[in-house]
């Protein structure tokens, strides 16, 4: 913003000379140049000239009012003498009428003079009021100028503060963005670690379930036992040897003890107690196998050609019984014995199905 303020003094010749000297410059930098003493004297000179002009105007009006006051002329001696002479009635009437008119004229002139004086007083009051109002206007203009300058300075300071605040906010936002990015990275890493942990937990849980299933002893439910007996009862009085492998341990031996009462319930000829069962060290069986005696001279240790054979009623009954109990039954060729009786051998528990 660039302002030039100059005041002249009426029609004085000093106006054009002094006007360029009173300069006020207000820019964004707040530069301010002014001669304080010169401004004071210039303002005093202007007020003095205004008062002098008003005073001269009042004097002029008063002089004009005084000059209009005409003294009423006094009658001359001739006029006095003539007045003593008796006049005709018509003349007296005319003179009386003239006197009345002159009195009215004098009265109007007096009122005119009073009006002129009052007008002069009013003109002086108007002049004084004009001087006072112009002084107030000058003060108002000065106050407005100072207000604009103060607002400009306040605006500059406010803008500077806002710029600083905006810069600080941007720095905090950038720092917050960095923290958010770091937290998102940490969250992604944590999610990856959590997914890995969940995978390991799922694998461990599966392995634990498999281990529990593997070490859980085999045992038939009541329904499975009933279905097992019902299948065996189709061929009662069947003769069968019983045994277990040492590799199956106690679990295989206990499962065999559970099967023995079921065979007896189905009226099968099996050993009465576990002392009469066989503990095989010469064979490894997974699950349950039926050892079928081979022909005389057969050696299961030697490789043999695969052969097909037809299941006997005993074999079919056993296959159906174990199928009802959800247990696989394996058929194995075995050494021949004296009475060619088949032997049911309980081996180690098979791994649970995946």
Structural domain contains residue 249 = yes
Boundary-marking domain end, from 130, 148, 168: 168
290, containing H or E segment: strand 288-293
Q: How many domains does the chain have?
A: 2
- Regarding whether 156 and 52 lie in a shared domain, the answer is yes
Question: What pLDDT shows up at residue 24?
Answer: 44
Query: Which residue's structure tokens are 């000093």?
Result: 14
Positions of the chain with pLDDT lower than 70, given as ranges: 1-43, 47, 64-87, 127, 129, 304, 354
Q: Who contacts 347 (Cβ-Cβ below 8 Å, separation ≥6)?
A: 244, 245, 247, 248, 252, 284, 285, 286, 287, 288, 289
Boundary-marking domain end, from 150, 168, 186: 168
How many whole angstroms separate alpha carbon 27 and alpha carbon 95? Answer: 85
Question: What pLDDT shows up at residue 154?
Answer: 85
- CB distance 343 to 278 below 8 Å: yes
How many residues are present in the chain?
354
Distances (CA, A) of 342 to 97, 152, 186, 197, 293: 185, 116, 68, 52, 6
Structural domain contains residue 265 = yes
Structural domain contains residue 297 = yes
Question: What pLDDT shows up at residue 251?
Answer: 93
Q: Give the strand pairing for 329-334 and 288-293.
A: parallel
- Regarding whether 54 and 142 lie in a shared domain, the answer is yes
- The domain in which residue 49 lies consists of 14-72+89-168
- Regarding whether 20 and 153 lie in a shared domain, the answer is yes
- Regarding whether 138 and 39 lie in a shared domain, the answer is yes
- Regarding whether 159 and 24 lie in a shared domain, the answer is yes
- Regarding whether 257 and 151 lie in a shared domain, the answer is no
Structural domain contains residue 248 = yes
- Regarding whether 161 and 94 lie in a shared domain, the answer is yes
- CB distance 289 to 332 below 8 Å: yes
Q: In this structure, what token pair is assigned to residue 45?
A: 């000179």
Structural domain contains residue 179 = no
Structural domain contains residue 178 = no
- CB distance 19 to 33 below 8 Å: no
- Regarding whether 30 and 134 lie in a shared domain, the answer is yes
- Regarding whether 339 and 228 lie in a shared domain, the answer is yes
- Three-state DSSP at 237 gives coil
Question: What pLDDT shows up at residue 253?
Answer: 95
Boundary-marking domain end, from 137, 168, 199: 168
- CB distance 342 to 315 below 8 Å: yes
Q: Who contacts 225 (Cβ-Cβ below 8 Å, separation ≥6)?
A: 262, 325
Question: What pLDDT shows up at residue 13?
Answer: 40
What does DSSP assign to residue 19? G
**The 3-state secondary structure of the chain, one letter per residue:** CCECCCCCCCCCCHHHHHHHHCCECCCCCCCCCCCHHHHHHHHHHHHHHHHHHHHHHHHHHHHHHHHHCCCCCCCCHHHHHHHHCCCCHHHHHHHHHHHHHHHHHHHHHHHHHHHHHHHHHHHHHHHHHHHHHHHHHHHHHHHHHHHHHHHHHHHHHHHHHHHHHHHHHHHHHHHHHHHHHHHHHHHHHHHHHHHHHHHHHHHHHHHHHHHHHHHCCCCCCHHHHHHHHHHHCCCCCCECEEEEEHHHHHHHHHHHHHHHHHHHHCCCECCCCHHHCEEECCCCCECEEEEEECCCCCCCCCCCCCCCCCCCHHHHHHHHHHHHCCCCEEEEEECCCCCCCCEEEECECCCCCC
Structural domain contains residue 299 = yes
How many whole angstroms separate alpha carbon 177 and alpha carbon 169? Answer: 12
Question: What pLDDT shows up at residue 279?
Answer: 94
Phi, psi of 88, rounded to the nearest 5 degrees: -70, 160
Question: What pLDDT shows up at residue 318?
Answer: 96
Structural domain contains residue 131 = yes
- Regarding whether 127 and 237 lie in a shared domain, the answer is no
- Regarding whether 113 and 251 lie in a shared domain, the answer is no
pTM of the model: 0.45
- Regarding whether 118 and 25 lie in a shared domain, the answer is yes
């Amino acid at each position: 913003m660039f302002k030039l303020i100059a005041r002249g003094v009426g029609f004085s010749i000093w106006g054009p000379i002094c006007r360029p000297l009173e300069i006020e410059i207000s820019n964004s930098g707040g530069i301010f140049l002014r001669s304080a003493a010169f401004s004071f004297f210039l303002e005093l000179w202007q007020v003095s000239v205004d008062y002098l002009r008003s005073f001269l105007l009042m004097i002029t009006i008063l002089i004009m009012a005084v000059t209009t006051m005409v003294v009423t002329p006094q009658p001359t001696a001739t006029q006095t003498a003539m007045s003593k002479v008796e006049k005709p009635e018509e003349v007296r009437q005319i003179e009386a009428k003239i006197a009345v008119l002159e009195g009215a004229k004098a009265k109007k002139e007096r009122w005119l003079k009073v009006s002129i004086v009052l007008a002069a007083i009013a003109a002086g009051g108007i002049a004084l009021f004009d001087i006072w109002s112009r002084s107030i206007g000058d003060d108002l203009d000065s106050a407005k100028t100072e207000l604009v300058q103060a607002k400009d300075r306040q605006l500059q300071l406010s803008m500077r503060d806002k710029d600083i605040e905006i810069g600080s906010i941007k720095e905090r936002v950038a720092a917050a963005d960095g923290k958010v990015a770091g937290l998102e990275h940490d969250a992604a890493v944590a999610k990856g670690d959590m997914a890995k942990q969940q995978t390991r937990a799922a694998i461990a849980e599966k392995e634990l379930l498999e281990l529990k299933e593997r070490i859980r002893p085999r045992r038939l439910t009541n329904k499975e036992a009933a279905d097992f007996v019902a299948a065996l009862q189709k061929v009662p009085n069947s003769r069968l040897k019983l045994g277990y492998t040492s590799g199956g341990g106690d679990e295989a031996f206990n499962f065999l003890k559970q099967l023995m009462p079921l065979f007896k319930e189905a009226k099968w000829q099996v050993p009465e107690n576990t002392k009469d069962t066989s503990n095989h060290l010469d064979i490894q069986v997974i699950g349950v196998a039926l050892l079928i005696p081979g022909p005389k001279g057969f050696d299961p240790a030697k490789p043999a050609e695969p052969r097909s054979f037809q299941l006997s009623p005993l074999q079919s009954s056993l296959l159906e019984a174990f199928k009802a109990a959800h247990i696989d039954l394996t058929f194995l060729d075995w050494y021949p014995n004296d009475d060619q009786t088949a032997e049911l051998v309980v081996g180690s528990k098979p791994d649970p199905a995946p």
